[in-house]
Structure formats: structure tokens, C-alpha cells
Amino acid sequence: MYGDFSDVMEKSDERMEVVLLATGSFNPITVMHLRLFELARDYLHGTGKYKVVKGIISPVSDGYKKRGLVEGSHRLAMAQLATENCDWIEVDPWECLKKEWTETALALRHYQRLQTCTGHTGAMEKKPGHRKGQKRKRNNVREDVPDYHCPEGRAPPRVKLLCGADMLESLGVPNLWKPEHVVEIVSSFGLVCITRMGSDASKFIYESDVLWKHRDNIHLVQEWITNDISSTKVRRALRRGMSVRYLVPDAVLDYIKEHDLYSEESEGKNSDLILEPFLRNSTTPQQ
Ligand SMILES: Nc1ncnc2c1ncn2[C@@H]1O[C@H](COP(=O)(O)OP(=O)(O)OP(=O)(O)O)[C@@H](O)[C@H]1O
Ligand SMILES: NC(=O)c1ccc[n+]([C@@H]2O[C@H](COP(=O)(O)O)[C@@H](O)[C@H]2O)c1
Ligand SMILES: [Zn+2]
């Protein structure tokens, strides 16, 4: 009889460890936001090259000034309720608690910097982030992103931006993103993009020289079980007194009702303001 040594012999795992970062309004968080993480993880694992070790939801600051954006404390609380039964997705308040809006490239740098050999991000840990020793190549990192120290000589997990195809397409909206940030996101970090109704991500990548150049670092994930859930539609239904049950987790729905979050009045918030990225990119010289 041959013994099974799998328990005693550690198999070397050369896969790159990945942390998925989803930024957005999450106003409110929907089940589709949670699905993005599942789809991305399945896809990356399916390549055999990546091991997803964590997902981070980073709700945007109130300073983003998007129309209808309810207070960050509520959006954070709802995201926390939505992920309470999930052992690998965390909600991180770093962006949301800041008064000023944070550009996504800066958020990616922040989370990458926080990665250590234990994969600690600063978010509340759900499980001790312990992983066994792995022989790893050091990854290429931007020169202006601080070097990451790994006492055991292992490379830390790499943070990748997780988004829907509409967010990918938003990279082409004039004055919404700094061109150098777009380059940084696709070259230094990488994107995992989930298809979305109404957006053609492949075409957008094809038509953008920058995205085309870095297409190997953009993972396009086809969602076959399509659904068109969006926070905008959820808010609209709520304003009209219609059910959104099963579109948002039950605990989120209870929270929305308890705090009477979405109304004509809340939808009018920021309606007279310019979205912060437009304001910033059109008034300050690019750095
Ligand atoms: N149904 C969906 N399919 C694919 N991606 C989605 C879907 N819903 C949200 N996302 C993605 O989730 C991230 C956060 O999005 P966001 O908070 O803006 O949600 P949203 O549903 O698009 O809300 P809103 O309608 O207010 O814009 C973005 O990257 C967005 O593309
Ligand atoms: N220049 C930038 O870094 C930039 C521009 C627009 C949106 N974003 C981010 O993308 C996300 C978009 O969220 P919404 O789709 O809800 O508007 C937010 O997290 C926002 O901070 C970043
Ligand atoms: Zn959106």
C-alpha cells in the first residue's frame, strides 16, 4: 500500500496570490456586487496561475459627490452586513471615512503597500491570514510604489482592481481619470473586469491603445448568468415603494428600511454638484 503523503508533504504552489479590490459607491450594495467577487475568483483560479486570497470592498467617500449618494456610514454598514457570512471578502473603511475623495490609483497603491507576508490589509481580518511558505519570484512593481518587504523572502499578494465593464468604459470619459492613472492601473496592478449589459468591454479594450498594450493584465470575465441589477435600479424601486427583496441581501434590506434610506430627497443629494473627479481634473494641473 502506498501512503498518501499529501498531508505531510507540502506541495509547492507557484500561483501568484491576488487581492481583489472593488471600489464603488455601493449605494446600496447589491447581490451583484458580491457576485463580481465570486466570478472573478472562479475565473482567476481557472487559469491555474492565480490564487485569490482576499476580496476588499472599498466604498467611496462622500466627497465623491455623486448624485443620490447617501452617507458613507450607511453604505459601509450595509456592505458590512452583506459580507458578514463571507469568509474572504472584507469591507475596508479607509476610503469611505475620508472627507476627501481618493483616486482609485491611490487606493490601489494604499492596499498594495499594506500587503505583507501575512496579507494584512488594514481591514478587519475575518480569519487569521496565515499561509505556508512558498517559493516565489519577486514581482515587478512600479518604481514609485514603495518596495514591499517580506522577511521570509516571499512576494506579497498583488492587488488587482475588480470592476464591471461600465467602470472599465468610464476610463475613456474625458477628465474622469488621469491618463497616467489609467496607465498605472493597467500596467502596475491589473484589472479583473466582469461583463455587464450595455457595455462592450472587448471593443473598448480594442479601441484603446493603452488598454490594448496592457491587455495581458486585463482579465475579462464573461458573466453567463446575466442580470441587470444596479444600485440605481434598486434605489428607484425603493423610492417607488416596490420590492427589492433578493436583489440585496435581507440584512441590507432591513437596514435600508430601518433607516428609511432611499427617497426622493436622498436621490436629490449632490444634484447641484459636479462629480469630484471632473472638478479635480479640470482645475488642477496633472501630476
Ligand atoms: N450588474 C453588474 N454587472 C457587472 N458589474 C457590476 C454590476 N453592478 C455593479 N457592478 C460593478 O460594481 C462596481 C461598483 O459599482 P457601483 O457601486 O457603481 O454599482 P452600480 O450598480 O453600478 O451603481 P449605480 O447604479 O449607482 O452606478 C463597479 O465596478 C460596477 O461596474
Ligand atoms: N480618477 C479616478 O480615480 C476615478 C474616476 C471616477 C471614478 N472612480 C472610482 O470608481 C468608482 C465608481 O463608482 P460609481 O460607478 O458608483 O460612480 C468609485 O470608487 C470612484 O472612486 C475613480
Ligand atoms: Zn455604477
The SS3 of residue 239 is: helix
- Mean pLDDT within 146-165: 77
pLDDT by residue (tens digit) across 191-221? 999 999 999 999 999 999 999 999 999 999 9
Q: Which position has the higher pLDDT, 55 or 227?
A: 55
Q: Which position has the higher pLDDT, 141 or 174?
A: 174
CA of 163 to the centre of ligand 3 (A): 10
Number of other CB atoms surrounding residue 19 within 10 Å: 22
Return mean pLDDT, the chain: 87
| Full-model pTM | 0.88
Q: For atom 14 of ligand 1, which residue has the closest CA?
A: 24
Q: Which ligand minimizes its atom distance to the CA of 59?
A: 2
Please determine, for residue 173, whether its predicted confidence score (pLDDT) is greater than 50. yes
Q: 156 CB less than 6 Å from ligand 1?
A: no
Residues of the chain above pLDDT 90, percent: 79
Q: 64 CB less than 6 Å from ligand 2?
A: yes
- Mean pLDDT within 278-282: 94
The SS3 of residue 88 is: coil
Atom index in ligand 2 nearest the CA of residue 105 equals 3
- Mean pLDDT within 76-98: 98
Listed residue (161, 231, 148, 165) closest to 190, CA to CA: 161
Q: 20, 21, 23, 32: which to mutate for ligand 1, most atoms within 8 A of CB?
A: 32
